[in-house]
Chain A
Amino acid sequence: MRVVIADDAVLLREGLVRLLTEQGHDVVAAVGDGPGLIAAAAELTPDVCIVDVRMPPSHTDEGLRAAVAIRTARPGAPVLVLSQYVEVSYADDLLADRRGAVGYLLKDRVAAIDEFLTSLDRVAGGGTVLDPEVVAQLLVRRRAHDPLQTLTPREREVLALMAEGRSNTAIARHLVISEGAVEKHVSNIFGKLDLPPDEELNRRVLAVLAFLRS
């Protein structure tokens, strides 16, 4: 996979380059600021960009804005955003175009290497990946007469994992239950939340997220 990495912290940038290279990926550019990232993404059309949120020159949410800019120029261009902090409102920016192929994770998640690489693959393949912490915030954001209240604890767990962008297979493995059981939970959840059932994974994730963000 051809990857562009953008992070102003040299230590982490080099760590990521080494990690991805060891795993057989091709890091075509490693940049340290927003404009550099936009230029590299336009010129090299990588399979995925890994982007840090806080970067020069503004040192605010530069990376996030660069990510949105990249996807405006090339709709659906896969971007995985990494950050020291995750906030729902930042995720909203990334999810707004409803095209998938985005990820938003805490930087710490890189340490769980296998899971990180899976997430990277999912984003590059057009999927959506959200950090569990964002999902947790989405799940408490609701008010009185919340349809989420009608879910069983197990269904809540499944919903959270769906919102993170996982497939039925991944959920089954994570909860150590059968895929059939997961399917049953999923159809229950969709019934209770009054969502149209959808077989296609990314559309299903987007539907769940749209529900949680509403």
Chain B
Amino acid sequence: MTTISAPTRDHAGDRQELGHPRLRQLGIDTRYVLVGFPLAIITFAVLLTTFVLGVSTLFIVVGLPITVGALYIARMFAFAERARIPGVLREPLVPATYKQAAPDAGPWRKMLTPMTDGQSWLDLLHGIVRFPVAIATFVIIVTWWSIAIAGVLYPLYGWSIPYGPEYRDLVDLMGYQSTTGTRTTFNVIVGAVFAVTLPFVVRGCALAEAGIARAMLTALPRLRAEMAGLTTQAHTAQRRTAAAVSAEAVALRKLERDIHDGPQQRLVRLAVDLGRAQHQLDSDPAAARATMDEALAQARETLAELRTLSRGIAPPILTDRGLAAATAALAARATAPVELDIAELDRLAPLAEQTAYFVIAEALANMAKHSGATTARVAVRQSGDTLEVTVSDNGRGGAHLAKGHGLAGLADRLHAAGGELWVSSPEGGPTKIRAEIPVSAPNGMGAPTG
């Protein structure tokens, strides 16, 4: 069995980029902090002014729209900041959601909606808080870059700096003679130390700034998205249960009808025939023999019908030997030659095996009844946690999932197992039926995606 797991996608790796990853990250982080500094100043200045103006004029009502305006401006800056942080944090962009006024709300209500939205106030707060942080990170980064560059490049320009006899520097203070040689060594060493630590310092600064943005700007949207995901999962589970219940109810009704129309009638007839034979034995042994022959035929037919019925409930070969053997048996009973393409399969969860089996059985039965196909092909593949079943034929097509067709019940059955069914069957053919069935945890909730 081969398991193909999807390659884990690193957001930063989505685009093909050149250069050493560490250097690339240094570039991203530096740019982030450098650009962040003027942005923070503008944000701080604009937001603080509008907000203070708004609040201080609240008592003459004009302040209200100004305050709301401040919130909208904060939102704009927040959008920009959210777009900037994924590169630093190496994680996907989290789209923000804001409270929307109901479409039929009055103009006041519409205007005041941002004031009732927690995220709006967080945006504003971030616009203020980011300012001191941006100053600190900016200063640190500029200092580090300057010392690193100036120190490492000292040999190139050191000679051109005029040093007077009164000149005192750190080299002297450390007790060395301040000559061109010692000055160069000293500056290069200091520059090298700063250059080596530069990526870590820059990374730390960028992470600090982006981390604050992440906490204040994307934590709430993240939480909301997670809750929405859970609700969707709960809905899916509910639908699946409903589909299972409905599929089971339909199957039970059909089974009852099949037993009533088939074996039950035949057994009654058999009893009647045997009764007649009993009577005939004395008077007309020849007629009795004929009646017994009929009774025997009835008994055989009953057995055949019961066999078909129980194959339809839980085929023994599937239970005993698994999907591959059961599919081979189905193919052997099919009306047209069936080509099988089934890799070695491990035994799967009973529900997955049964669902796959019934997809194949139902598709082949449908083919025999309606398609006029002369060949068919059944392929079963497992990739990761999904079993993929494809049944195709060369018939005249026209199969669909509408109510009353065998395939409609099949779709229910698949939903019940957490799977999905696709039918492609244009008029004139060919027909292709494809099902995907989860192999594990068929009744539980799957791992959250995304």
- A84–B310 alpha-carbon span in the complex (Å): 10
How close is A46's CB to chain B, nearest CB, in angstroms?
26
Q: Is A29 an interface residue when CB atoms closer than 8 A count as contact?
A: no
Chain B residues whose C-beta falls within 8 Å of the C-beta of A88 in the assembled complex:
328-329, 332
Within 8 A of A (CB), among B213-259: none
Which residues of A67-81 have CB atoms within 8 Å of chain B's CB atoms? Answer: none
B333 on interface, CB distance cutoff 8 Å: yes
Complex CA gap A90/B319 in Å reads: 13
B267 CB-CB contact with A under 8 Å: no
CB neighbours (8 Å) of B329 from chain A are: 87-89, 137
**Residue A99 CB within 8 A of the other chain:** no
Q: Residues of B contacting A90 with CB < 8 Å?
A: 317
What's the Cα separation between A118 and B425 when bound, in Å?
Answer: 51
In whole angstroms, how far apart are the Cα atoms of A143 and B331 in the complex?
Answer: 12
Chain B's nearest CB lies how many Å from the CB of A66? 14
Chain B, 319-364, CB within 8 A of any chain A CB: 319-321, 325, 328-329, 331-334, 337, 339
Chain B residues within 8 Å of A61, by CB: 320-321
Q: Is the CB of A85 within 8 A of B311?
A: yes
**B332 and A137 contact, CB distance less than 8 A:** yes
| B296 beta carbon closer than 8 Å to chain A | yes
Which of the residues B300, B331, B333 comes within 8 Å of A108, measured between beta carbons? Answer: B300
**Known contacts A85-B307, A111-B296; is-contact A140 B332 (Cβ 8 Å):** yes
Residues of B345-398 at the interface with A, using a CB-CB cut-off of 8 Å, are none
A119-146: CB near B (< 8 Å → 1, else 0) gives 0000000000000000001101111100
Cα-based distance from A82 to B16 in the complex (angstroms): 66
CB pair B325 A89 closer than 8 Å: yes
Q: How far is the CB of A7 from chain B (nearest CB, A)?
A: 15
Q: Select from chain B the residue with minimum beta-carbon distance to A143.
A: B337
Q: Establish whether residues A137 and B307, one from each chain, have CB atoms under 8 Å apart when the complex forms.
A: no
B317/A87 in contact, CB under 8 A: yes
When the two chains form their complex, are residues A60 and B319 in contact, meaning their CB atoms are under 8 A apart? yes
Q: In the complex the two chains form, what is the Cα distance from A61 to B300 in whole Å?
A: 23
- At the interface, yes or no: B76 with Cβ under 8 Å from chain A? no
- Shortest distance from the beta carbon of B337 to any chain A beta carbon, whole Å: 6
Closest A residue, CB atoms, query B329:
A87
Residue of A nearest to B319 (CB): A60
Residue B316 at the A interface, CB < 8 A? yes
Any B CB within 8 A of the CB of A54: yes
- Partner among A60, A89, A143 whose Cβ is within 8 Å of the Cβ of B328: A89
Bitwise interface map of A from 84 to 112 toward B, beta carbon under 8 Å scored 1, else 0: 11011110000000000000001110010
Contact B339 A143 (CB under 8 A): yes
- For window 10-62 of chain A, which residues contact chain B by CB distance below 8 Å? 54, 60-61
Closest 7 CB pairs of A and B: A137-B332, A60-B320, A61-B320, A89-B325, A108-B303, A87-B317, A87-B329
19 contacts between A and B (CB under 8 A): A60-B316, A60-B319, A84-B310, A85-B311, A85-B317, A89-B321, A106-B303, A108-B303, A111-B296, A111-B299, A111-B300, A137-B329, A137-B333, A138-B332, A140-B332, A140-B333, A140-B334, A141-B332, A143-B337
If A85-B307, A143-B339 are given as contacts, then 11 extra A-B residue pairs at C-beta distance below 8 Å, sorted by A number, are A54-B316, A85-B311, A87-B317, A88-B332, A89-B328, A90-B317, A108-B299, A111-B299, A111-B300, A142-B337, A143-B337
